[in-house]
Amino acid sequence: MDPELYNQYDLEQDVHRITLYSTVAKEHQHISGKKRLYLHLDMNCFYAQVEQRAYNLYGLPLAMGGWRKPNGVARGIVATASYEARALGIKTAMSAFEASQICPYLVFMQIDYDKYKGLSRQLKSILDTYSPDVEKYSMDEYFMDITFLLGNSRRQLEAFAHKMKNDIFRQLGLVCSVGIATSKTYSKLASDLKKPKGLSLILTPDDAAQYIYPLPMDEVWGIGRRRYEHLKRYGLLTIADAHKQGPAPFKKLFGEMQGQLFWETVTGRDRAKVLTNEVHIPDEVSYMHTFSDWTDEPTLVRGEIVKAVRKVCYRMRGYKRKARRWSCHIRYQEAHWEGVSFAFTTPGFTNLDDYVLTACLPNAMEIVNSAVRKGIKIRGIGLHTIEMQQTEQLEIFFTEEQRIQHLYRAADCLNNCYGPDTVAKAAIHESVKGNTHFVNRS
């Protein structure tokens, strides 16, 4: 058996994130100002599209993330929906119950994350035949560096994109939208212009002025709702406004370096790299789980907390990161009770479950038991890191026991090779049963 197989952490295990990063970073840009060409591919309603293909649900309104109880009442939250459902007014983050009121015959399906990961890997294999530089931005979005096509005509570029789209449909039965532009940011914006099945080329300043400049600035990655509110006070509503006013207001709002970077991103001046082998280490590692059937059994909640710690610590070991400060959230049933969050500290920086559980469980179970005594049921739990560092750094006053280190190293080796639940604490079987948004958590 190849020893490397044992060391391959599945960092996407049970991680239902949208993207790997949210804007262009300075360290991810080319030093030279050489002109480049980028392609961004976006699968249309990926989860819903895969399920429509798998179960021949074409033409039916489909909502992903919800389910129906035995009495027919819809539960859960809509994570995404097919275009047929969107046309009826079904939106992301809408409650499944509200969606079912809009469309009583709406089809609900839970998210089968492992299925989509498998198809995403097949998609990546196809894209690798079209460019040596392919970046997986998310499970259903990819960037490609196609600078080798820079001298080609518009018609030739369209033919290249159409051939790739046709190959994807022929091999996977899935459709996508594609944007081609001279900046990574504008290629991402271009792919969103003509959904579904669209193809947009932004190759000249006139193309950008016609199709990109009128877009509101918050459609650019990195410019979220809060930053957009600040920008609007300076009269910066659209991308065209950023071109007109220059970098000065951005620098005033966000600082000299960050402001310049935001302005370059918004105006398509970024020199972003296609990150082919980059490991994207998040600022924090987190886990959140909402129960479909609320519980007043402390033992079951304890099992869910053990599971949360296991998931978070596993990913941290894969990232080669440790944490000392953490936060746990116990969510209550009642609408007027948000729940209780508390911070806790481990004896030192660690990514081993035992130390985290010893520090977390006493406080967590005191909160859970107190709620249950008051007749409050528990709706969900969450855990996330507050402060992380690289594992290579040593501490003076704390050292993880080698016996425990070896235990988790061996468990990870077995789980990485034979499946995530090959070796696990027995307490994870004390969990809250029922459906969730995701098949693998039900």
Q: Is 429 helix (H, G, I), strand (E, B) or coil?
A: helix
- Distance from C-alpha of 239 to C-alpha of 192, rounded to nearest angstrom: 15
The answer to whether residue 141 is catalytic is yes
- pLDDT per residue as tens, the chain (442 positions): 344 444 587 777 666 555 667 777 777 888 888 999 999 999 999 999 999 999 999 999 999 988 888 888 888 888 889 999 999 999 988 888 999 999 999 999 988 888 998 999 999 999 999 999 999 998 899 999 999 999 999 999 999 999 999 999 999 999 999 999 999 999 999 999 998 899 999 999 999 999 999 999 999 988 988 899 999 999 999 999 999 999 999 999 999 999 999 999 999 999 999 988 756 777 789 998 888 778 999 999 999 999 999 999 999 999 899 999 999 999 997 655 578 999 999 999 999 999 999 999 999 999 999 999 999 999 889 999 998 888 766 677 788 899 999 999 999 888 888 887 788 877 767 777 766 656 655 5
Q: Residues with Cβ < 8 Å from 50, sequence gap 6 or more?
A: 115, 116, 119, 174
Amino acid at 20: L
84, 141, 304, 400: the catalytic one is 141
What are the structural domains of the chain? 35-202 (3.30.70.270), 213-271 (1.10.150.20), 286-441 (3.30.1490.100)
Q: Which of 106, 101, 92 is nearest to 61 (CA)?
A: 106
- Distance from C-alpha of 189 to C-alpha of 191, rounded to nearest angstrom: 6
Q: Would you call the peptide bond into 196 cis, given omega within 30 degrees of 0 as the criterion?
A: yes
- Distance from C-alpha of 357 to C-alpha of 99, rounded to nearest angstrom: 39
**Quick check: 38 and 181 in contact, CB under 8 A?**
yes
